[in-house]
Chain A
Amino acid sequence: MNFSVKNGTPVIAWLLVGFAFMFGLLTDANADPAKEVRIATVAYNVNGKIGFNGTAAIVEEQGWLKEELKKQGVTLTWVPVTAQSVGVTINEGFANKSIDFAGYGDLPSIILNSGGIETRIVVPGGRGNNVYLVVPPNSTAKTLADLKGKRIALHRGRPWEIAFARYVAASGFKFSDFKISNLNPGAGAAALAAGNVDAFVTLSDAYQLEDKKVGKIIWSTKSAAQDWKMRAELWGAKDFIAQNPAITQIIATAYVRAVYWTSQEEHLDDYLKIANQNGQPENVFRREYSNDSVPWKIRWSPLFDDLVLDHYANVAQYSRQANLIRKDVNTKQLFDARFLNAAIKELKLEGYWQPRKVALKGA
């Protein structure tokens, strides 16, 4: 009784594996010019509905981008990304070509480019967001010095690492002076609340921790030099930009339109309503924006000025020193200012924002 199949069947298995692989990597077999543009953005899943965060929410609300792309026969697809792992998810998206553009932070982009996947800044994201250092409410720590040798939760490779690293260096310390726990923001907040870490580096959710009485802010970039804030920009895949300059231009214009609208003080309240779909209370954002060293209008400046250039040079240098990347990144080539300049011209916004000629030197 022999009922063996003669041919070597694993061939089929291999083919299946191969197809699966191809499917994953080559779903982007877009002809030039693209028929679809995929923009990754931080989003929150509320009631099973996706709510966007920040400028992407405004772009979507304005609807201009979708319309303009439609005229070109291009569909716009937003790719939602959770705040827990923005950098990683978007880097992976660029690597497996499942996204064309993304609004995300400085350090992950440097890590990606150092890894050999090339992306470009299309529209800089303004002056950036604040980074906070939070300790438990009953902690006696007042400054970083009080936390020496203590455990600090910090999601490595995320933009706020840069701001924190500057603070650490400016205070005359090294990372090795602390016990750094690599925890995503959710786990970090939980660790702080449970008393498992002595401090936590995070963004504006710091205020929520304060409201819940599980944390107190002892430091933030609000009072620090302007280029200490974490930066996030609109990034595009280098190849996509090269092959689809017209689409890229529409997107750049849409983003500049959005930040122009946002930067007008009278739109602040509307902005908070539209761009605040992540479940965080509105007053958290009000506090993030209030009493800041950067005025509201300038906060949204999309210009490629010395501040941006300097910031990225700094990020690249830090990443190399901290051994986060193995290859140097030439940060100059990360900027592709054509689209922004054209957008400013098209929208007649020349002179609305002033470029910063000389970047502030971080302490």
Chain B
Amino acid sequence: MNIINQFLLNVKHFSGLLLPITVAVVWEFMSRQGDAYTYIFVPLSQIYSGFVELIQSGELLINLVATLQTTVIGLVIGGFAGLFVGGLMAVSPLANKLIGPLYHTLRQVPLLGLIPLIALWFGNDLFSKILIVSLAAFYPIVLNTFEGMRGVEHKYVEVASVLKFNRLQLLIHVLLPAATPSIMTGLMHALAFAWVSTVGSELLFSTGPGVGGLMLMAQESSRMDIVIVAVVSIGLTGLLMNASLSHLRQYLLRWRSVR
């Protein structure tokens, strides 16, 4: 009985690999069907050699670092701005009423659709990319800061008023810690959006180093192998950043009573 269970367990582990393997085999098969097919279905060996080529020339690393840098700078700027605006909206009903509608309206404009406008106003360089990425990070952080602070239990606020905290103290000692879980959730969203918009803005601004630019160049010269390597590295980097941020979240929230 035990052996059967063991076997089933193994199959279960293995079955997740079945699909990628099948795809790879079909892919390789298609790549051998003639010139017209190799254009899309580049042989796996070529993807690998493309990868080696990109690593050896340092191209992948340089572009990846540039993309990461844009994301991080945008995340920091957008994060702090979002924290500020979200906190303000939570603390001041007037600010909420004034900023809220504008925030909810502007948020609906597809960010990458702003690129033609931002390019004209601020140029096509890093500044514009960072602006887009900051905005992408800004929106979710505002929302989660606001909701996190709004959701603070009333008794904490009352304790604060007993202690005669002023508004700044209230914000720093009560609201901010209490809203941290929500803000961290916002940060996770912000990271995802920032990452998407960095890649998107690299595709649309198409200047300077970055994985997006690398992909465009590969597309231009019909190098599907490089495109695939770039896509995979974008996915993996996103995954890594996501994982490290959620570790950070766990670390920061370790004081929370775990059920």
Contact = CB atoms under 8 A, between A and B. Distances in A.
Interface residues of B, number: 45
A29 to B, nearest CB: 15
Interface stretch (A93-101, A142-150, A245-253, A330-338): A93-101
B99 A1 contact: no
Interface residues of A, number: 46
Contact of A4 (B91, B209, B220, B221): B91
B235 interface: no
A13 B207 contact: no
A8 B124 contact: no
Interface stretch (B7-15, B21-29, B58-66, B237-245): B58-66
B127 A24 contact: yes
Interface string A186-209: 110110011000000000010010
Interface stretch (A82-90, A221-229, A293-301, A349-357): A82-90
Nearest to B98: A10
A323 interface: no
Interface in A144-199: 185-187, 189-190, 193-194
Contacts of A45: 208-209, 213-214, 217
B120 A92 contact: yes
A13 B39 contact: no
A208 B99 contact: no
B216 A84 contact: yes
Contact of B62 (A1, A48, A81, A185): A48
A9 interface: yes
17 contacts: A4-B91, A4-B94, A4-B95, A5-B92, A5-B167, A8-B95, A45-B213, A45-B214, A48-B58, A48-B62, A82-B216, A84-B206, A89-B207, A93-B123, A93-B124, A186-B217, A208-B221
Interface of A: 1-6, 8-10, 13, 16, 20-21, 23-25, 44-48, 80-82, 84-85, 88-89, 92-93, 95-96, 98, 185-187, 189-190, 193-194, 205, 208, 212-214, 279
